[in-house]
Amino acid sequence: MRDLDALLNSLINIDRASLVAILSSEAEAARLLVNSGRQRTASQRAKRREAAEHAARIELILSFFKHGDVAPDMPETDVMLCKSLEDRLRLRAQR
């Protein structure tokens, strides 16, 4: 799993459609990881739980960029990250 904060902060000169495609791909990869992991040991269960949390976070962020809605359970840090990226997208679109 890639560091989502670093990925989103590193995106420069990207349009909304490309961003949604990247986030969709990341969400799919996280879902595959959740569904493919074995759960016999505590370590495997922890990795699956982390992947599920990562997938849920990506889905909330993806929903923001697809629909423009801030989910009620979205952490404030993610809201700020999304709004910052939204501002960059808006500035790029104006150019």
Residues with Cβ within 8 Å of residue 22, at least 6 apart in sequence: 7, 11, 14
Nearest to 22 by CA among 62, 57, 53: 62
Is 70 exceeded by the pLDDT of residue 84? yes
Instruction: Give the percent of the chain with pLDDT over 90.
Output: 38
Contact of 82 with 61, CB cutoff 8 Å: yes
Is 90 exceeded by the pLDDT of residue 80? yes
Nearest to 4 by CA among 95, 67, 82, 92: 82
Is 80 exceeded by the pLDDT of residue 83? yes
